[in-house]
A and B are shown apart, each in its own frame.
Chain A
Amino acid sequence: MTALRILVPVKRVIDYAVKPRVNAAQTGVETAGVKMSMNPFDELSIEEAVRLRERHPTTVTDILAFSAGPAKAQDTLRTAMAMGADRALLAETDTELEPLAVAKLLQRVVKDEDRNLVILGKQSIDGDAGQTGQMLAGLLGWGQATQASAVLGLPAVVTADLRLNEPRYASLPNIMKAKKKPLVKRAVADFGVEVGARLQTVKVVEPAPRKGGGKVEDVGGLVARLKELGAL
C-alpha cells in the first residue's frame, strides 16, 4: 500500500457555541475577548487522519497540521497535535485570507511537503464559503470527494462532513506531549503565493431580527393562529 502523507488544514474560528456580534463599525464580527476554537469540521479531519493511522499504522507515515492565521492559531495547531497530528506548520498573517488564497498556500505546502492526501473540513463556520478543498483539488488537478461520509484513489482531496466521525477529546498526557511536537512558523509572504484579496467587504450587518409572536394555549389556538397568519 502506498505510504500516506497526510495534510490536515485547520482554522481558528469563533467557538461554535458563541453567538457572533457584528462590530460597531459594521466592518466585521467582533472577535476581541471572544472564545475561539478549532473549526468543528476541522476536528473531524484530524480525527479521520488519526483513525486512518490507527487502522493502517504502517501506511500513514506522517500527519501534518497546517493553519494560516494570526500567531494565536498556534493554539489550534497544538490542539491538532494533541489529537494525534505529528507536527504543525503555521503561515502567519494578520489579514483574513480568502479561500482562493488559502488554497494556493495549501497547493504550495502539498508540493513542498510531498503530500498525497489532504483532508479538510467542508466549510469554516465563520465564512461559511465551503470552497477551499474544491479549489485546492482544482489547483492540484487531483480528485475531490466533498462532504465525505466514508473515506478512495490517491492523490486526493477529501472534505469532511459532520457525520464522518466523532472527534476525540485530547487527553492531558497528549496535550503535554503536543507541546513538544515540532511547530514551524513562517510568514505568509515566504510562501511566494499571491494572496491578495479579490473581495472588498463593503459592510457587515446583523440580520433583521425575528420577533417571536407569543404563545397559544392549546392545539385549537395553534390552528386558529396559523389560519390568521395565512399559513393554513
Chain B
Amino acid sequence: MLLTRTAPSVLRAAAAAATAGARARARRFCPLSTLAVLEHKEGNLLPQSLPVITAATKLGGTVTALLAGTDAASVAAQVAKLNGVSEVLTVSNGAYDKSLAENFAPMLQENIKAGGFTHVVAAHSAFGKNIMPRLSALLDVQQISDVIEIHDDSTFVRPIYAGNAIATVKSSDDIKVLTIRGTAFPAAAEGSGSAAAVQESSADPKVESSTTWVSENLAKSERPDLGTATRVVSGGRGLKDKDNFDKLMPPLADALGAAIGASRAAVDSGFADNSLQVGQTGKVVAPQLYLAVGISGAIQHLAGMKDSKVIAAINKDADAPIFQVADVGLVADLFTAVPELTEKLKSEK
C-alpha cells in the first residue's frame, strides 16, 4: 500500500490492474459452494426443501444445508442422509423458530461470510420470499426469484409476466442468491452412501428482531399438501357458494386422494381459505393431475397450474379458456357431473 501511494500514476494503474486481475483469478478459482437454506417444522424437514437440494446440486459445487431453530440438530440427521448434501450446518437457537426476516437474514449473512459460499438457494415459498430478498440487500446482490432452470453457475431461467414469458438471465454478482420453484426440480432422495457431517455453526449474530411473532392461524387439513400433492382438484366461481364448495369438493378430493385448491374468485367470494388459492398470487402447483371445476381459466389462474402433467376441466361454458389448456374437457353442469364423478371414482377403488 505504501509503495503504491508513492508510485507514479502509471505504476499505480498497473498495480491496481494487477490487484484486480488477482481478484478476478481468485474468484475464478474460488470453488463453487452452495448454501441451501432449508425449512423444517415440528422436527421434520418440509417437502418444499427437497427440490432446493436438487437445484443446489445442479450448480456444480459442494452443497451445505443450513437448518436454524430449536429443532435444527434433530432435523439435521434426516438431511444428512439426502443425496447431494456434502455437509449440514445447524444454528440451534430458538430465535429462528418463526423465521423472522429481521434476524434470520443477518444470521444467513454471517454464515455466508464465514463459509465463503458462492451461491445461496432457498425455496420460492412464503419463507424464501420473505427472507431471501432481505438477505440479498444485505449482501448487495440482485436476487433471482422463482428459478425454473439452471444453465450454469451464473445463468438461470425464470418465468415473468405470470408465466407468459420465460426469461434467461445471467448474473454478474459475486454471490448468487436464488429462490427456486419447487415443482421445477425433482425432490432429493435419501442416498445409499454414508451420511454427511453435521456441524453446529459458530456464526450466529443474534440480531434482535424488531417484529415479534404474535400468533398464527393455520388452515388445518388432513389432505395432501397443495404445493406437493400429486393430484389437485380445484374449485372456482362456478360452485356458486361456500356450501356447495364444502359439499362437492372434499368428497371428490378424497375419492382421488387429492389436495383441494381454489381460484381467486372462489377465495375472494369466501368459498375457500386463501391458503388454497392457486395462481399468480397464490400457490404454483404442478401435480400429475389437475382437475379444474367451475374455473374459467383466467391467465392469473393458469400461471399457477399450467405446468401440471394432465389438466382436466369441468365447466358448463364450452368457450371457457380453461378448455384451451385442458387435456380433457367436459362441458357439463358441475352440480350433476361432480357427484357422478365422485361416485364413479369411489366404486372403482
Contact = CB atoms under 8 A, between A and B. Distances in A.
Contact of A204 (B130, B165, B299): B165
A1 interface: no
Residue of A103, A229, A231 most packed against chain B (CB within 10 A): A231
A215 B169 contact: no
Residue with the highest number of chain B CB atoms closer than 10 Å, among A137, A201, A221? A137
Contacts of A156: 211
Interface in A213-232: 213-216, 218-223, 225-226, 229-232
A207 B163 contact: yes
A225 B328 contact: yes
B161 interface: yes
| Size range of the chain B interface in the assembly | 35 or more
B171 A199 contact: yes
Contacts of B145: 128-131
Interface stretch (A71-79, A144-152, A168-176, A183-191): A144-152
Interface bin, chain A: 35 or more
B309 interface: yes
A205 B306 CA distance: 16
Contacts of B172: 198-200
Contacts of B101: 134, 137-138, 144, 146
A222 B144 CA distance: 40
A207 B286 CA distance: 15
Interface in B207-250: 209-211, 231
- Find the residue from B101, B146, B161, B348 having the highest chain A CB count within 10 A: B161
A70 to B, nearest CB: 18
A198 B323 contact: no
A118 to B, nearest CB: 14
B201 interface: no
A128 to B, nearest CB: 6
Contacts of B95: none
13 contacts: A19-B299, A22-B165, A99-B143, A130-B145, A133-B133, A135-B137, A144-B102, A144-B134, A201-B167, A216-B329, A219-B332, A219-B341, A232-B256
Interface of B: 101-102, 105, 126, 129-138, 140-146, 155, 159-173, 209-211, 231, 256, 264, 267-268, 274, 280-281, 288-289, 299-300, 306, 309-312, 314, 318, 323-332, 337, 340-341, 344-345, 348
Given A20-B165, A29-B165, A146-B101, 19 more contacts: A131-B136, A134-B130, A137-B102, A138-B105, A143-B209, A163-B267, A163-B268, A163-B274, A198-B171, A199-B171, A204-B166, A207-B165, A207-B166, A212-B326, A214-B329, A215-B330, A221-B330, A226-B312, A231-B288
Interface of A: 14, 16, 19-20, 22, 29, 98-100, 103, 125-139, 142-147, 149, 152-153, 156, 161-163, 197-207, 210, 212-216, 218-223, 225-226, 229-232
